[in-house]
A and B are shown apart, each in its own frame.
Chain A
Amino acid sequence: MTDDTGLSQRLTEVARRTAGVSAVFAAKPAVAAAADALAVALALREPDVLVDVARSEGFTTFTVHIAADAATPAPQTLRAVGEAVRDLVLAEGAAEHHFAVNVKARMIEGLEADRHD
């Protein structure tokens, strides 16, 4: 089994540093992860391994879940994260020929209140 822990960690870091990202969540849902004891053990040991890397028959899928900060338009943030992840994957030659990057914003936080004064 390939160990993508280091790669995931670097991808998590690159997502976290992207402008407009307020948090990165574990992309593997808790329920699915629970079925995979190893993933749980890894997740417990490695809180910075949040980007999911799934390899299957020459196709690699990278999945990133984020919280977006309302100060930046969410589409802009999503695109920036997607591009940053893609660029790192390409730079490292981390994927075989075909790959996809899924970026999902699970929440948009920090919308400002009306200021009447």
Chain B
Amino acid sequence: MTDDVDPLLEAADATLASRAMDGDVQAFERLARRHGPLMRVYAAKLMGSESESDDVVQDAFLTGWRKLGDLDSPAHVRSWLMRIVSNKAIDRLRVRRDHDDIDDWDPPASAVRSPERIVETRLQLDAMWSALDRLPGDQRRCWLLRETGDYSYQEIADALDLPVSTVRGLLVRARRTLLQEMEAWR
């Protein structure tokens, strides 16, 4: 007989969250493995810092574990954790802005590819990834908080200390730039 396949591997988020609420570490581990990598990538992109993203996502999951009792519905565990990750990343951004004044730190753009030479979907996603990198920092943050973090305009404004009207404008610009960048892929 083959050794145990982890019965939690295919369990629904809601099941895993319920069990984690009962103190099941393995169930929480499964949630971390399922959703953590994306959240880590998101945090890195949001902060413009790969090196801090591990800390942020670990800290966020730890907070999640300790506050599982506050989770209103186990089925919403993913967006609830995502929210915690967003908050933690924004806290770091604030600290950095207050101390280092490198508000608009932009990661180096990846090598620019010529769209005509690239045909595969995977590379289309690479193109999107580098297009996001090329966005100015404030546009990128607005875009990620809106699209991935599921923040409202007001919440983005509060998080980034910007007027709502500015957030709207930044999102319009981000959307327009990305549409132009990705036009070649249609």
Point out residues on A near B: beta carbons under 8 Å: 113, 115, 117
Set of chain A residues within 8 Å of B1, measured between Cβ atoms: 115, 117
Interface residues of B in 1-50 (CB under 8 A from A): 1, 4
Q: Give, as a whole number of angstroms, the nearest-CB distance from A99 to chain B.
A: 31
Bound-complex Cα distance A50 to B59 (A) = 29
Point out residues on B near A: beta carbons under 8 Å: 1, 4
Bound-complex Cα distance A23 to B1 (A) = 26
Q: Give, as a whole number of angstroms, the nearest-CB distance from B79 to chain A.
A: 31
Bound-complex Cα distance A77 to B4 (A) = 25
Question: Nearest residue in A to B7 (C-beta to C-beta)?
Answer: A113
Set of chain B residues within 8 Å of A117, measured between Cβ atoms: 1
Question: Nearest residue in A to B4 (C-beta to C-beta)?
Answer: A113
Q: Give, as a whole number of angstroms, the nearest-CB distance from B169 to chain A.
A: 49
Bound-complex Cα distance A117 to B2 (A) = 12
Q: Give, as a whole number of angstroms, the nearest-CB distance from B149 to chain A.
A: 33
A-B contact pairs, 3 of them (CB 8 A): A113-B4, A115-B1, A117-B1
Bound-complex Cα distance A113 to B3 (A) = 10
Q: Give, as a whole number of angstroms, the nearest-CB distance from A109 to chain B.
A: 11
Q: Give, as a whole number of angstroms, the nearest-CB distance from B99 to chain A.
A: 29
List of 3 A-B pairs having minimum Cβ-Cβ separation, nearest first: A115-B1, A113-B4, A117-B1
Question: Nearest residue in A to B3 (C-beta to C-beta)?
Answer: A113
Q: Give, as a whole number of angstroms, the nearest-CB distance from B1 to chain A.
A: 6
Bound-complex Cα distance A108 to B4 (A) = 17
Question: Nearest residue in B to A115 (C-beta to C-beta)?
Answer: B1
Bound-complex Cα distance A115 to B1 (A) = 8
Q: Give, as a whole number of angstroms, the nearest-CB distance from B48 to chain A.
A: 35
Set of chain B residues within 8 Å of A113, measured between Cβ atoms: 4
Bound-complex Cα distance A113 to B6 (A) = 12
